[in-house]
A and B are shown apart, each in its own frame.
Chain A
Amino acid sequence: MKNKIILILLTAASPAMFTGCATDAHYVQTGDKEQIVSLGQINIQDYANAANAAVKELLESGALDKVANPPALLELSRIVNNTSQQVDTDLLTKKISIALLQSGKAQTKTVDTKAIGYQQEKEFLSDQKSTRLPDFTLSGKIIETVDRAGSTRRTTYSFQLSLNDPKAGVQVWEGEKEIGKQGTRSSVGF
């Protein structure tokens, strides 16, 4: 009788145990509670946090408001990747340019070859230069630093951004966001 009860309990417990281990695929929202904290790499949440901090500081500074013909014209320059991984810096710069465009404070110069071609054609036909020089350029650097103590590893990513005035040749705003992650291995959940 006792053995029967134990067998029933074990049978009931085993599916629960297995379902606890496996996770069915499901859609997630960026930055939700279940986000994966990856130790050795920059993830989408890190880009979002860095972009959020940059946009906040940039809008707060009022640097973009100091132009003769608002909204300011911004050209995205080079983001230097000084990390051990290959990154697509558009994950950072695109978020910033979208947010600035939505704010109405800046427009970015197009990089679309078709649009540039039409503009050049228009300039050629009208024999007039209509290209507006950018008011600002946005450049930056992503730096990775790793510290170890036994099996614990701490990776810090520094996102450094500069808003440059090409006419005056000066930096009118600079911002830095550090994102640090520490642990022995990557985990699920913030």
Chain B
Amino acid sequence: MKVARYYFLALAAATFALAGCTTVNTVENAQKEGQRTMITDQRVITDASLNRKVAIVGLNRATTPGGLLKIQVEVENHTRSLQRFLYRVEWFDASGMQVNNVISAAIPEQIEGKESKFISSIAPHPGCRDFRIKFIEAD
């Protein structure tokens, strides 16, 4: 009777622990035709907790036909559960001055367990040269 109770409790605990854990399986072409122009990045990590959960894998850039800088960040969820975070992109001109951007609000994003995701942004002005992306963990 006692063993059965422990077994039931263990089963309930395992079910509870696994609830909400959904990971992602992926498949992609092995021989890539597109070449990403990766760029070296400089990171400032103040929220180690978020960095452990959702890590930045890499950064690449391109230019749109209209001459605007486009950036793409690959982030990866290292946990087995869904993670929510906010990100905000800031743009800077050739003088290092921040470019006023009407749509600078933080964008909510979510990522499934073990998923790898791309976040992209386009410069608000052709004069933008540099950028900074801020990640904030949701409560």
Question: Which A residues lie at the B interface, using CB under 8 A?
Answer: 30-33, 45, 48-49, 51-52, 55-56, 59-60, 62, 64-65, 95, 98-99, 102-105, 189-190
Interface string of B86-102 (1 = CB under 8 A from A): 10100000000000111
A selection of 16 A-B contacts at a CB cut-off of 8 Å is A33-B106, A33-B138, A49-B105, A56-B120, A59-B68, A59-B122, A62-B64, A62-B65, A64-B66, A65-B65, A99-B102, A102-B101, A102-B102, A103-B125, A104-B125, A190-B138
Is there an interface contact between B88 and A31, defined as CB atoms closer than 8 Å?
yes
Residue in contact with A99 in the complex, picked from B106, B121, B124, B136, CB distance below 8 Å: B124
8 closest Cβ contacts across the A-B interface?
A31-B105, A62-B65, A31-B106, A48-B105, A98-B102, A52-B103, A65-B66, A190-B138
Interface residues on B, range: 20 to 34
The docked-state distance in angstroms from the alpha carbon of A27 to that of B64 is 37
A49 with B121: CB separation less than 8 A: no
> How far is B107's CA from A48's CA once the two chains are assembled, in angstroms?
9
Task: Provide the bound-state CA to CA distance between A190 and B66, in Å.
Answer: 34
Q: Tell me the nearest residue of chain B to A179, going by C-beta.
A: B108
Determine whether B70 belongs to the interface, using a CB cutoff of 8 Å to chain A: yes
Distance in angstroms from A138 CB to nearest chain B CB is: 15
Closest residue on chain B to residue A33 by CB atoms = B136
The complex places the Cα of A59 from the Cα of B63 at a distance, in Å, of 11
Give chain B nearest CB distance to A97 CB in angstroms.
9
* B125 / chain A contacts, CB cutoff of 8 Å: 102-104
Closest B residue by C-beta to A50? B103
- B41 beta carbon closer than 8 Å to chain A: no
